Amino acid sequence: MERVVPTSCYTWDLVEHKHEPPPQTVLRVLQDIAELNASPLEGIFISLQENNVTTIHVLMVGSVGTPYEGGFFQFLLRCPPDYPLSPPRMSHITTDAGRVRFNVHLDRSGEVDVSTIGTATGPGWTSAYGLASVLLSVQSVMGNRPYFNGLDKEKQPGDSDRYNEFVRHETLRVAVCGQVESALKKDPQCPPSFRHRILDCFLKMYDKYENIAESRLHLTATEMKDVYSPYPVGTFQFKQLLVRLNALKMEVHKRNQATDTEAAKKAAEEAAEYEADLALAQVAEFENEDRLPPVYDQSEQR
């Protein structure tokens, strides 16, 4: 697949930009975000960079029926100073530190190759597009047959199925287990809202993850094949993943129990503080209205 680099691609940096974005750029980004909030995209969540609305964290949960199902895939998106005249840039973060290529469009380097943002052949960017168009374009490449994203036909019968198994394994290892571990450790690359969503979704989908691993235990220690990589990618480790999943489930439950205990403690403290404040307020009310009962000197009564 030919990669097309937009002319303005390297005139600014994805992570940091030294200049404040122009007001018209900020306004357009805010309009796009408002549209996303009004009409949320299924399986796609965003979190704005603090003090910079042109940098947006993205979390995509793999769609049902695909080898990416239930995976938590993070991206970083940044709108250039001349947005929407130029497309946003986007980087894929969930790569196991540059070791895993989840798709011909999602390189291990973090590069995202889709025509919408001008990094692959096909219908290119226009200013009529918005953030939703970009996010849907990226989500669409994570389909049920990712093998055919870069190849028209199988080189060998069953290649597509074998590639799906590779993607499914790496999704479970990196985009599920790895992401849950990052959320538990409060990795700064993972915004707090994403951490809560990942941990909550992990428990809800746990049975699915477990079934994926259990039904593929027979593949453990056999060779994985990534048709898009010239290098060996290791062996299936479904047995180890099953153990890892169970351990993570216990850790998330433990974390939730601690959170619930802390929340209950905080609620009790707030209730006690409220009652104390209420008592003080009642005393103040009596004092202000001269309604406190008189205090008698017992010596005068003798």
Confidence of residue 10 (pLDDT cuts 50, 70, 90): very low
Going from the C-alpha of 108 to that of each of 49, 102, 185, 297, the distances in angstroms are 24, 7, 23, 86
Confidence of residue 283 (pLDDT cuts 50, 70, 90): low
Among the ranges given (94-103, 144-153, 168-177, 281-290), the one the predictor scored with the smallest mean pLDDT: 281-290
pLDDT at site 192: 93
Give 300 or 164, the one with higher predicted confidence. Answer: 164
**pLDDT higher than 60, residue 139:** yes
pLDDT tens string 71-96: 999 999 999 999 999 999 999 999 99
In a 3-state reduction of DSSP, which class is residue 53?
Answer: strand
Helix axes 192-204, 238-288, angle to 10 degrees: 120
Contact 129, 51 (CB under 8 A): no
**pLDDT higher than 50, residue 121:** yes
Residues 80, 13: Cα–Cα separation, whole Å: 9
pLDDT at site 150: 84
Residues 175, 147: Cα–Cα separation, whole Å: 19
Confidence of residue 272 (pLDDT cuts 50, 70, 90): low
Query: Of 56, 96, 90, nearest to 72 (Cα)?
Result: 96
Give 1 or 143, the one with higher predicted confidence. Answer: 143
Angle at 243 between CA 172 and CA 166, to 5 degrees: 30
Going from the C-alpha of 33 to that of each of 44, 270, 288, the distances in angstroms are 13, 35, 51
> Mind giving me the DSSP string for 222-248?
SBP--TT-SS---B--HHHHHHHHHHH
Give 289 or 139, the one with higher predicted confidence. Answer: 139
For residue 99, how far is the Cα from the chain centroid? 19
pLDDT at site 117: 93
Q: Mean pLDDT score of the chain, rounded to an integer?
A: 86
pLDDT at site 160: 94
Three state DSSP letters for 159-228: HHHHHHHHHHHHHHHHHHHHHHHHHHCCCCCCCHHHHHHHHHHHHHCHHHHHHHHHCCHHHCCCECCCCC
Confidence of residue 16 (pLDDT cuts 50, 70, 90): low
pLDDT at site 5: 37
Give 2 or 257, the one with higher predicted confidence. Answer: 257
* CB proximity list for 242: less than 8 A, separation 6 or greater: 210, 213, 214, 217
pLDDT at site 230: 79
Q: Which residue has the tokens 């990226």?
A: 138
Q: What element of type H or E holds 252?
A: helix 238-288
Residues 242, 237: Cα–Cα separation, whole Å: 9
Helix axes 206-214, 238-288, angle to 10 degrees: 170
Per the omega criterion (within 30 degrees of 0), is the bond before 192 cis? no
Confidence of residue 262 (pLDDT cuts 50, 70, 90): confident
pLDDT tens string 169-220: 999 999 999 999 999 999 999 999 999 999 999 999 999 999 999 999 999 9
pLDDT at site 71: 99
pLDDT tens string 24-49: 999 999 999 999 999 999 999 999 98
Domains of the chain: 23-257 (3.10.110.10)
